[in-house]
Chain A
């Protein structure tokens, strides 16, 4: 593997913490952390400072802290409470939430750290608290217990030294995995035995990779007074991970090697890098604009203030003198404090509550994904998971979808279809107990019945498939105690394996008459057609990896012959074959691949004893290596797996997932480009693509494969393709949205891994050739579908990265189910994991996890769309309502001598964003549905309406801002003309400045809330409750706030102001008038735009509105006619 494995230094663990016998290397006691797990972030003592520090690292919080401090230090127009209270509120809520979470973590930690473990000490079992466990301790684990730390398995209660483990809590795979005890310690089965064991383990320092472990055990024995040391390699098959659970094994003995925070699991839960959504980016851009507006407002006012004050009679008229200290202050200091004071006065334009609301919206909103009934899969019993709620709205912005094939598009539910031995095709579809049905229907290749030689290779082929695998047989007792043997030939699967292909193959063999029974004492037992048990000794397993794309086993038959059986992808087998009917098999493999079947080739090699010895030697030396073991193993495998005799090929069908084609079609209609990235071979992948309607009949396929690049240089191929594509592109009308209409040709590109890496290779010395990358991108951009086959996991991520960094910076989504998709899931803007059969790594590393591919449709088209609509309205509305809030205050400065006199009362300033206008928008952003979700699903093209962040573009943002400014001007000058030099009470009494502010504020609150009401398309009872409720709350609050002389306040300026205002008729009239004027332009704009330039969304809204009305009308007319 090219994975950079830095050899960190090793640790030596002495089993039982006993000193090694003299003569071995020097005993250096090392210090390791104890087995205490600390997942909590805070302690009781550092919670307050640490939490505060973390919170103020957020820019928004820091900004408000600064404002607060400024208010404390200088004489500002508003009291520090106005910004202190909201800040305090936000900080406290967050702190309580985090504190509670941390308390839960503490509790969980304590529960784990104090749970008892059994340690073997001096031949006795001692109970101990888990946290007191040290590296080197030998522990006894009983069935169904969870491993307290990372352990090396020394011996088990099972004779063969294996134990079964489920890692359900680690990666969600509930299948039982087999782990092996160290060969030399297998025999230590009592506590006393371990007292005599003297051994040390050398292993790497802790690393987070769950599936990789290299180590070596040194066993010292001085039996017969001869001191000797055995070395034995340790691999991940010996390592029991903390968090996994022991199953089907009475007890085991194991030695702790990594403890506490050094366990692989603890190392794995470091946070991933943060992904940010496009909406967040535009939000930040808007913030900067508003910050500029804020600063310029403050600057303008400061300058004007000093211009205005140049006249001393204005600065200090006789009625309004300054104090001496004020007078003595230097003018620059005064100007600066004035500037700060203006900043403070206008700071509400950047609302503290927006962040809280956005976070709440995301957090609460994500529950709708989890709650979605339609995204629940009965079969798996799983529902959609949300791992990061930060990206909800990004689901509505996806432009590129990168999908894995196996397990994502397809079921990953393999079914054995046929096998081909030397050109004879066997189809087990008619299951007639072991009877072979040569597929007479299909191939012309089939000659007459196979001769005796054919029969022999046929049986060898079947045996090969029965032996060459890592399938385990689930024991009878595990299946709910029901005794069901394999012999009974039931279709129920008793085979378990990490690879579904293998299970399919072994089951297929069973149907063809060869049944794999079990692995017992290193012997594999198969039941052949004559119901005889054949035993093969399993000597070596050369495990599968995605680079080699094959696996092998070495077995010894009862007759003492050594065989190496190998199965693997055709491309990795054929070059190593020296004899066999290569041509026929190859033809059949290709034929099957075109059909969309997964093919594997099977080959064998007979080994002589000498060859076997050599093989053993090679393997052992590689396995014993502590450094670069993977590389050495790969080299050894490469040497061993050669000179094959080809036996035949198998074909396994991987059916398309339910509604995969429909989903892909919808995604394409929604304007997304779907790319399939697969490790599979081209023909198979292409067939899947056709089946899933990624490619249509009409699609013109462009190939960029090794086959073509062998004929022409890569350069020419690329230019040819780009020419083809671009010619068509230029002739095409500019109406890109009709790209789906049948009249224009759409292209599909197929590229393979090797060519891709050639394309992506950084441009070499001849840079005159230009960068292939760009040409490639250009081609890809004009193709409606792209298929990348033969991809290594890293290449998948590379592709995603390539598209991500292309000039338009499209939003990418990667979806996959296997470990090989993790890199691409992490790379893409949105990573979606499928809770598939190949384990849970993908789901664990993803941002969202769904049970099936088809759920992607609802996820994107419905949820993504909704979230985007909601959050964009939320963001725009927040800025709008704060402009409308603060701009009158800005205007007021021109009428109060730029003295920073606030227009509104402190309570209004403080509560405007917290309580008067917060809930309606939060609720809107949670449950708004501008269109019914059924329509969204039915009509994917609606997704295009929100593509490219269209609701947060600058023109729309500017429109909202201007709307806010317009409303503010209406509020302010409406009230101004009403107040201007006149009275509007029927008793002749006058109103003061606080009534003025209250009037503006009342109009403001009503307008802003009603504006949201006008934007709401989905009025549930909750909306009614919240919108009218918050208006009512404002009125009640105002009545109360002005109704009492508040004893704790040092001013009573609001006393009876609101009530007096309401007692005047013109105030009511002007409130109504101003609300109408403020809302009018927006309504007119909406209506006119909808009538003259309707978007697709709006058309559909109207249409669906009519369809819901028309049945009624139709009924009525019917009645009339009758």
Chain B
């Protein structure tokens, strides 16, 4: 565009020419005969022709299809169960056990609303079972939301604890006291409680032990999130700060039973703080460890999910659900990758055949034409 370096013109001519008229200084101007300067560096010169690409296509096909099948089978073997807590459809919702609770729009209903959702498993869930809660139509990736946090505060920085970042507005201060943890993300922490009961054939309820540790990234829990130091007593540490507006209890009361899971390093909190990529998302809630004996982690049968329904989603037409899933090496149930691999592999294989035909029909023609010319 408009820019150019008049290198030659500016620095070449003027000073030299106006300057010393050193005539007769005939320098040896012969250029160096190096491979680089003569643009003759030894080089590999591949060209993409049907002939050369063919094998690659077949190889890709042959590799991708088995991988795809493997992925697909793995994905199919994963057991997943979704329990809806809030329905979209009004008609169905009415008969939902949590209908009454879900009618609440506000955060501040004093008495907790509970409901129990029965469901049954057709087949036993082996190995570790992971329990997720899912929200939809919840824009955790909204820009205003994503940036509304103070990472140094969460990292235990004392200065940020007392005066949180401006990004946290309008959840920065309340009652002229700094909010800890500040920001919209923290403020909207998911606060339902889910409990799972197995109903024995004889009708008695057995609570299923839910483990609440190991749900957050190790690095988040141990490095990125830290309680402000100085005192083991979190109540003292967080003195002078205010709890987030929507919270019922302070940050140091998140899990009073376990000091290693309290305050900023509460794993539920950390999980929530990792903002989801898409408006429909799920977050890891609890882990059900497999039992030491051979019995399945969750045997088939009837279950009841006891929900302390606090989190209102109706206002934004959201949907709330609970997911139970087993996990393989490739994660949860997601047939996409397997199908994609199979498809791409087949397409490559097919293209390979097409190219083979083209190569046989036209490749020779080209070649002979070249020889002629």
Give the B-binding residues of A (Cβ under 8 A).
37, 39, 55, 57-61, 77, 94, 97, 101, 104-105, 107-109, 111-112, 146-147, 166, 168-170, 174, 242-245, 247, 265-266, 269, 271-272, 274, 280, 283-284, 287, 313-314, 317-324, 355, 359, 362-363, 367-368, 370-373, 376, 378, 381-383, 386-390, 866, 895-897, 899-902, 927, 929, 932-933, 974, 976-993, 995-997, 1014, 1017-1023, 1045, 1050-1053, 1055-1056, 1060, 1064-1066, 1069-1070, 1073, 1076-1077, 1080, 1083-1084, 1086-1088, 1090-1092, 1094, 1098-1103, 1105-1106
Contact = CB atoms under 8 A, between A and B. Distances in A.
Pairs A-B, 10 closest by C-beta atoms: A108-B15, A319-B188, A1103-B370, A984-B331, A996-B277, A168-B23, A371-B37, A169-B21, A988-B130, A899-B143
Interface stretch (B39-47, B193-201, B296-304): B39-47
Given A1083-B48, A1102-B47, A1076 B344 contact: yes
Which of B1, B134, B184 has the most chain A CB within a 10 Å cutoff?
Answer: B1
Interface in B37-95: 37-50, 53, 60, 64, 67, 71
Contacts of A1022: 41
A105 B13 CA distance: 10
B109 to A, nearest CB: 13
Contacts of B278: 895, 976, 979-981, 993, 996
B145 interface: yes
A359 B3 contact: yes
Contact of A986 (B187, B287, B329): B329
B288 to A, nearest CB: 11
Contact of A1102 (B24, B39, B49): B49
Interface string B244-272: 00100000000000000000000000010
Given A902-B143, A988-B130, 19 more contacts: A59-B2, A170-B17, A170-B21, A243-B18, A269-B14, A317-B139, A376-B30, A381-B26, A389-B5, A929-B39, A982-B282, A982-B333, A986-B327, A1021-B41, A1053-B151, A1080-B348, A1087-B49, A1099-B373, A1103-B373
Given A383-B30, A899-B143, A981-B282, A242 B18 contact: yes
B21 A108 contact: no
A1016 to B, nearest CB: 8
Given A982-B332, A1018-B45, A359 B5 contact: yes
A1076 B334 contact: no
Nearest to B372: A1103
A1097 to B, nearest CB: 11
Interface in B282-338: 282-284, 287, 312, 315-317, 325, 327-334, 336-337
B239 to A, nearest CB: 24
B314 to A, nearest CB: 9
A376 B31 contact: yes
Interface residues on B, range: 35 or more
Contacts of B147: 1051
Given A321-B170, A373-B31, A992-B274, A1091 B50 contact: yes
B337 A1066 contact: yes
A1055 B224 contact: yes
Contacts of A373: 30-31, 33, 37-38
Contacts of A1070: 337, 340
B118 interface: no
Interface string B158-202: 000000010101110000000000001001100000000000000
Nearest to B169: A323
Contact of B41 (A372, A1020, A1076): A1020
Contacts of A988: 128, 130, 215, 284, 287, 325, 327, 331-332
A808 B85 CA distance: 71
Nearest to A375: B31
A16 to B, nearest CB: 26
Contact of B315 (A287, A318, A359, A1017): A318
B21 A243 contact: yes
B327 A983 contact: yes
B348 A313 contact: no
A790 to B, nearest CB: 34
Contacts of B32: 371
Contacts of B371: 1103
Contacts of A244: 21
Nearest to A844: B13
Contacts of B142: 320, 896-897, 899, 901
B122 interface: no
Contacts of A323: 169-170
A1056 B219 contact: yes
A753 to B, nearest CB: 33
B16 interface: yes
B146 interface: yes
B145 A983 contact: no
Interface string B120-153: 0000000010101010001111111111111110
Contact of B45 (A37, A991, A1105): A1105
20 contacts: A58-B3, A94-B3, A112-B19, A245-B21, A323-B169, A355-B1, A363-B5, A387-B12, A895-B141, A897-B139, A980-B280, A981-B278, A989-B215, A1018-B45, A1020-B43, A1060-B219, A1070-B337, A1076-B348, A1086-B48, A1098-B47
